[in-house]
Structure 1
Amino acid sequence: MNTAPAVMAIPRIGLTGLRVTPYQGSADDALGTKIQNLGRAASPQGPRGGVGPGDVGNYVVTAHRLTAGGPFRRLPSLRNGDHVYVTAGGTRYDYVISQTMWISFRKPADLVRQSAPVPGFPGRTATKAMITLSTCATIEDHAAGNFWKDQFDNPEHRIDKVGVLVGTRPA
């Protein structure tokens, strides 16, 4: 598994140089939230998380939208076909966004869908490298009158942009 720290760029939303810190855990747990609070992205890896960049399976990356510099502030505006570049261990990985998922922190089945080896499809065996970029839907939840939050101040819903690896090259 590729567990190297990474740097992310998403040209469509003007994001460059976002540090991605891998850790053992699950999306938006205490350690992941602590990493995000530093203005970085967090990548949960291992049995309850995902894989590393370029590995077959789901490379999960979470970052704040409204606090700590809001690196994923414009993530919801990503469209299918937009590129996400991740550089790690001397390789640049090129992912292309292919779908959007909404998940609820109040539904355990949704959390499983988010971190599944094939995003959105628990139980399927991964055959390609994929990425799930995840951020809060605070703005949308509040607009709908939903002010629920968990112990880490995460709102009920997350917006996930899912993509597939389309190429690699030396960094």
Structure 2
Amino acid sequence: MPSHRLSLGGALLLAALVVSGCDGSRGAEGSQPRRTSSPGGSPAPPTSSATPTPTTSADEPEPPYQVSDGRPRRATMTIPALGLRQLRVVPYRGATDDAPGTEIQNRGHAASPFGPRGGVGPGGVGNYQVTAHRTSSTRAFERLPEVRRGDRVVVRAGGVDYVYRITGTRETSFRSPRSLREQRAAVPGRPGLTATRAMITLSTCATQEDHAVGNYWADEFDNPEHRIDKIGVLVQSRRPG
């Protein structure tokens, strides 16, 4: 009888040790985070009581940055991904690729329209619009179609560098009033919305692409129908040096 009682006690003790996690695994109250099942039946990721690190969406501006007052200013533009440096940007009252804007581009500069049919100045909340030739003798934006999402554009104006990050590409048809409204909207592509961020539109002609499909339409300034637009958002402002 004593031997029988000892074996039973040992069995009970062993069972208690296994249940409590003393077999080398961690029990329910151990340091390993508890796992639960997902609706599909697979284990869910470990939970944590620590405060998660804030993350920023790919399309959100990256602080620190400050916007400008949006007034039109003469500026220079650098696009490191293209090897383009210190391109002169001339502001004028008007709309993209109109007569005054085309004349500025013909001199080898980039043109930046402002006013009721244009955009804002560098670093301002709204749509900073910049156009330049791609195929004429000046070819300031010859390689603009190569710009990709994430590339930086640095606009220097009033002693400040405004750094934009490219977020997308769109096409504009100069034979479509709706398409023109979208290009020139305060929020590019979204007419009627109130701008809350500083954005940029870089625009140049799609002459090669139009001609490749047999579209030889041109306006009175020899501009083709379509434009390639690169859209970006301000992510930083800084004093050079």
TM-score range, shorter chain: over 0.9
Q: Residue in 2 aligned with 1:114?
A: 183
Which letter does structure 2 place at the counterpart of 1:138? T
Contact 1:134/1:160, CA 8 A, preserved across alignment: yes
Q: Which runs of 5+ in 2 are unaligned?
A: 1-69
Higher relative contact order (CA 8 A, sep 6+): 1
Q: Is 2:203 the partner of 1:137?
A: no
> Cα deviation per residue 1:74-129 (whole Å; 9 max; x = unaligned)?
00011000000000000000000001010100001111100100000000000000
Q: Residue in 1 aligned with 2:30?
A: none
More strand by share: 1
Q: Residue in 2 aligned with 1:58?
A: 127
Which letter does structure 2 place at the counterpart of 1:117? A
Question: How much has 1:68 moved relative to structure 2?
Answer: 3.6
1:22-101 superposed matches below 5 A:
22-101=91-170
Aligned length: 171
**Which protein has the larger Cα radius of gyration, Structure 1 or Structure 2?**
2
Question: How much has 1:69 moved relative to structure 2?
Answer: 1.9
Contact 1:83/1:97, CA 8 A, preserved across alignment: yes
Q: Is 2:228 the partner of 1:154?
A: no
TM-score by length of 1: 0.99
Q: Which runs of 5+ in 1 are unaligned?
A: none
Question: How much has 1:150 moved relative to structure 2?
Answer: 0.5
Q: Residue in 2 aligned with 1:3?
A: 72
SS of the aligned residue for 1:84 comes to: strand
Q: Residue in 1 aligned with 2:192?
A: 123
SS of the aligned residue for 2:220 comes to: coil
CA distance in 2, matches of 1:155, 1:26: 16
Q: Residue in 1 aligned with 2:47?
A: none
CA RMSD across the alignment? 0.6
Question: How much has 1:4 moved relative to structure 2?
Answer: 1.4
SS of the aligned residue for 2:178 comes to: helix
Question: How much has 1:2 moved relative to structure 2?
Answer: 2.3
Contact 1:38/1:68, CA 8 A, preserved across alignment: no
TM-score by length of 2: 0.70
List 4+ stretches of structure 1 deviating above 6 A.
Answer: none
Contact 1:36/1:68, CA 8 A, preserved across alignment: no
